[in-house]
Amino acid sequence: MELLRTIAHPPGGGGAKCCEAAAGRAAGGESRRKKAEEPPHQQPHQHGHPAAEVSRIITDPTTGKRYCRGKVLGKGGFAKCYEMTDLTTNKVYAAKIIPHSRVAKPHQREKIDKEIELHRMLNHRHVVQFYHYFEDRENIYILLEYCSRRSMAHILKARKVLTEPEVRYYLRQIVSGLKYLHEQEILHRDLKLGNFFINENMELKLGDFGLAARLEPLEHRRRTICGTPNYLSPEVLNKQGHGCESDIWALGCVMYTMLLGRPPFETTNLKETYRCIREARYSLPSSLLAPAKHLIASMLSKNPEDRPSLDEIIRHEFFLQGFTPDRLSASCCHTVPDFHLSSPAKNFFKKAAAALFGGKKDKARYFDTHNRLAKEDEEIYKLRHDLKKTSITQQAPKHKTDE
């Protein structure tokens, strides 16, 4: 069963303004999420009559609280996500509303109950917050944290690719949230750009726990093939079960997609995609710097045991040697950020270079050369190297004298 993604949207004045739905195919070549005993080839046919329109004013029968339903934020196979405002506090939620008629079968309702059970126990800065759940005669209502900057899928659709500093910024937050889930012995099982949501402060939140599951011992792991085709790991396709390593694999696919604008195993043929995944066959363009290549390759190791842990990922050279911004401007959702003005490291090296080189002409020529570089980190590395050489050459040689 396909469960709804929590869809975020841009804020509006005096409340929250709805944005376009993000169901279906997302940026970066994401396919629709599917679940089947064998690799899925088509979305299961949905039965039943269309659900009735949700009331404008909704009352929680358990508390008496009244909510105003806003516009649709997103759609899924069995549910819709709406903007919903508490009429007492004016707090805005992303409300997943599921008609009872769409989950009439016991196994369908069981999946919803399981999602609620797992999500409501989570509390972390980088996980979409679960607030409340209630039912009336027509629907099930799940009130979630409202993220006003939409999802990473929307950002990549507008931007095509992201810079390395941005990728580090987002990946640190994903790793933080994912580490928390794994510590709670929960596997996400559907990590992808469409399930990372961004709030008004440009903080990332992991969401959509429709496929999440408890981590089981190896011998009891679930063998079901579920998730998004482009992000499935070899062991999942081979029915060896889901583990933390499967989430690490998906994280490698996410990093690749952020940097290059497409998933590593995407092809025009689903069978070929699965063949590439099973063989861990993909390309790493020469445009990527060595640390990024190495980290991606380690996360996309065919053998799950060869993949790094989340702690090892954060300690990787890709994070330690590169510049990571403390925060991002909202303009980064649609335009390339300019780190030249905001990077303390860059400002320091510019001042140091000015002092060492002296003349404005030399300084201008020096920075003009380096400002042509496409990547912020590459520029900083070269500045460090050249400054060190200049410092050495400007020192007067010292000679020993005999008395």
Count CB neighbours of 38 within 10 A.
8
Q: Between the CA of residue 380 and those of 98, 240, 342, what are the distances in Å?
A: 51, 44, 13
Which CATH superfamily groups domain 152-331? Transferase(Phosphotransferase) domain 1 (1.10.510.10)
Is the domain spanning 27-39+46-144 CATH 3.30.200.20? The answer is: yes
136 part of the active site: no
Per-residue pLDDT of the chain (403 residues; tens, 9 = 90+): 443 433 343 333 344 333 333 333 334 444 444 444 344 444 444 444 556 788 999 999 999 999 999 999 888 778 899 999 999 999 999 999 999 999 999 999 999 999 999 999 999 999 999 999 999 999 999 999 999 998 999 999 999 999 999 999 999 999 999 999 999 999 999 999 999 999 999 999 999 999 999 998 765 666 778 889 999 999 999 999 889 999 999 999 999 999 999 999 999 999 999 999 999 999 999 999 999 999 999 999 999 999 999 999 999 999 998 899 999 999 999 999 988 654 555 566 666 656 665 545 444 443 444 344 445 555 555 555 555 554 544 554 444 444 3
Domain ranges of the chain: 27-39+46-144, 152-331, 338-392
Catalytic residue among 190, 208, 247, 377: 190
Residues 73/19, Cβ–Cβ less than 8 Å: yes
Intrachain domains 27-39+46-144 and 152-331 with the same fold: no
Strand partners, 98: 140
Strand partners, 214: 186
